Amino acid sequence: MNQNSYILQPNPIMKADSYKFSHPFVYKNGIKGMFSYLEARSKGDVIVPFGAQMWVQKNLMTPITMANIDEAEAFAIAHGEPFQRAGWEKVLNVYGGYLPVTIRVVPEGTRVPSQNIIASVECTDPDLFWLSSQLETNMQRGIWYPTTIASNDYKNWRAIRRFALETSDDLSGVPFSLHDFGGRGVSSGETAEVGGAAHLVYFMGSDTIEGVRAANFYYKNSMAAFSVPASEHTVQCSFGSLPWEQREYLEAMLNAFAKPGKIVSIVVDGYDVYREVQQICEMKDAIIASGARVVLRPDSGDALEIIPRLLKLLEIGFGSTVNTKGYKVINNVGLLQGDGIDYKSMVEIMEVVTLHGYSLSNIVFGSGGGLLQKVNRDTYKFAQKASAILVDEKWVPVFKDPVTDPGKKSKAGRLTLLRSKMTGEYMTGNMDLPIDDEWEDVMVTLYDHGEMFNLTTLDEVRARAQS
């Protein structure tokens, strides 16, 4: 049997909601083109666009085939929907299978106030104008999710930097202060890939290999993130629960991975976290001689109670210095909290650590579900809507304005994002109206009729996001 028979092959025509099949048959007569835009409708948030380049490469750069059309038609009819076969055959025969649309985006990593356009899609083929709306499902989910992760991480990054600036002499550890443990806690491999790549806009520590590979490949980076040798509870528990068995476990980790200039991460909460930390303190001379930094991971229990106690034990065992900010830095060892971490819990832990007089450099964080999974489209209220149609060679604004929910009012016209040359502020503007000299259009064309333009690298995205 052909190996592909075990795998459901992707069909780009069918990456849509079912009802999209029916829409080409009911639009108002005379429409020759359509323009749609994507925004986050939440109030007062900073949005960091990410993922459009990855989505276009994965979804629009492989042409559709006659087999795709045949499969989509058979499915639609059996599913209870009509199918616009003539339109899709035009895509194949006239445009070589590439969608005849233009997609413009805000350069990824640009920090934009919410309620502004971040992407648009336009089609001016009179037979295919509906493609602008047809793409909504696939395009929106390809952008809202990684943009949400990057936008959340902007808040995480700012909080960590704030505490680091207040309590640490060296900020070089900030990019490694929030490690991605989310690979096993997300809904799919593609979620790990897309969300894991988005995390790397602000941070450089990750155990989500799919995300690192995606960032390397789609954003031309040699190595977007790094990890360190680390144990897990399977390793710890394989040695047994008795004190001498746990001593053997700790020694095995140090013998294998504690090398000069290296970091080794050791889980210590499998049985008695206080006992294991005390045993680490008894191994002080060996750890110092190794030249490594040992990071202990005490994931179970109330972090706000346990972390200060462990820091005190480590300080007694290894000693500490006081930095120029007046905070204690424990020698040779530190902690990694990787359980229950999201923005709120992380800030609470940082507050407790610093209130006890310790520098933030003594602790790093790992996050799984709280980083990559506990979000949805409504986290920042993303929506993609048609805002203009081309009728009689003129673009006509269209919009929704529900009397029952003013917050869902959509924008009208062919839109773009403008930035003030004087103040740097942003606003959404109309492409068909004159633009004052004070303002510049910051959106760029990413995709146009099967070709990509203005590709960016992860280094460029990071520079914009962290400026």
pLDDT in tens, 17-76: 999 999 999 999 999 999 999 999 999 999 999 999 999 999 999 999 999 999 999 999
Same domain, 329 and 395: no
Do 349 and 207 have their domain in common? yes
Q: 3-class DSSP state for residue 8?
A: coil
Asked whether the predicted pLDDT for residue 308 surpasses 60, the reply is yes
CATH of the domain at 217: 3.20.20.70
Residue 344, SS3 per DSSP: helix
Total count of domains within the chain: 2
- Give the domain extent around 349: 148-372
Q: Which of 338, 372, 406 is the last residue of a domain?
A: 372
287 and 249 belong to one structural domain: yes
Looking at the fold, whether 9 and 115 belong to one and the same domain comes out as yes
Do 119 and 172 reside in the same domain of the chain? Answer: no
Backbone torsions φ then ψ of 314, nearest 5 degrees: -70, -35
Identify the helix (H) or strand (E) that includes residue 131. helix 131-134
Residues 295, 396 share a domain: no
The edge-to-edge listing of strands for the beta sheet with 117-123 is: 394-397, 382-391, 31-40, 117-123, 102-105, 444-448, 451-452
- What pLDDT score does 305 carry? 97
**273 shares its domain with 395:** no
Q: How confident is the model at residue 407 (pLDDT cuts 50, 70, 90)?
A: confident
What are the structure tokens assigned to 276, written together? 């294991």
Distance, in Å, from the CA atom of 137 to the CA atom of 410, rounded to the nearest integer, reads 17
Predicted model pTM: 0.97
User: What percent of the chain is modeled with pLDDT above 70?
Assistant: 99
Of the three residues 372, 398, 430, the one that is the final residue of a domain is 372
Q: What is the pLDDT of residue 366?
A: 97
Query: Do 170 and 124 sit in the same domain of this protein?
Result: no
Q: What is the pLDDT of residue 2?
A: 61
Cβ 370 vs Cβ 342: under 8 Å: yes
Q: How many CB atoms lie within 10 A of CB 79?
A: 11
Q: What does the mean pLDDT of the chain come to?
A: 97
**pLDDT over 90 (residue 408):** no
Longest dimension (CA), the chain: 84
What count of other Cβ atoms lies within 10 Å of the Cβ of residue 453? 12
For 132-178, write each residue's pLDDT tens digit.
999 999 999 999 999 999 999 999 999 999 999 999 999 999 999 99
The pair of three-digit structure tokens given for residue 215, joined into one six-digit string: 């960032």
Please say whether the dihedral angle defined by the alpha carbons of residues 163, 51, 448 and 384, taken in this order, is positive or negative. negative
User: What is the C-alpha to C-alpha distance for residues 14 and 291, in angstroms, rounded to an integer?
Assistant: 56
Domain C-terminal end among 372, 396, 424: 372
8-state DSSP, 19: G
DSSP result, 60-100? TSS---HHHHHHHHHHHHHHT----HHHHHHHHHHHTTS--
Domain shared by 286 and 159, yes or no: yes
Residues 155, 176 within the same domain: yes
Query: Which CATH number is 401's domain given?
Result: 3.20.140.10
Q: Same domain, yes or no, for 243 and 368?
A: yes
Strand 293-297 relative to strand 263-267, pairing: parallel
Give the per-residue pLDDT at 3.
60
Give the confidence band of 228 by pLDDT, cuts at 50, 70, 90: very high
> 436-463 pLDDT, tens per residue?
999 999 999 999 999 999 999 999 999 9
Q: What is the mean pLDDT of residues 303-313?
A: 98
Rounded to an integer, what distance in angstroms lies between the CA atom of residue 317 and that of residue 446? 56
Contacting residues for 224 by C-beta, under 8 A, at least 6 apart: 197, 200, 204, 206, 212, 215, 216, 458
pLDDT at 4 over 90: no
Element (H, E) at 135: none
Task: Give the per-residue pLDDT at 299.
Answer: 86
| Residues 239-283: tens digit of each pLDDT | 999 999 999 999 999 999 999 999 999 999 999 999 999 999 999
Query: Tens digit of pLDDT for each residue in 186-213?
Result: 999 999 999 999 999 999 999 999 999 9
- 159 and 83 in a single domain? The answer is no
The mean per-residue pLDDT over the stretch 301-314 comes to 97
Residue 357, phi-psi category: left (phi > 0), alpha (psi -120 to 50), beta (remainder): left
**What pLDDT, on the 0 to 100 scale, is given for residue 176?**
98
Which amino acid, one-letter code, is at 200?
A: L
What is the average per-residue pLDDT within 399-415?
93
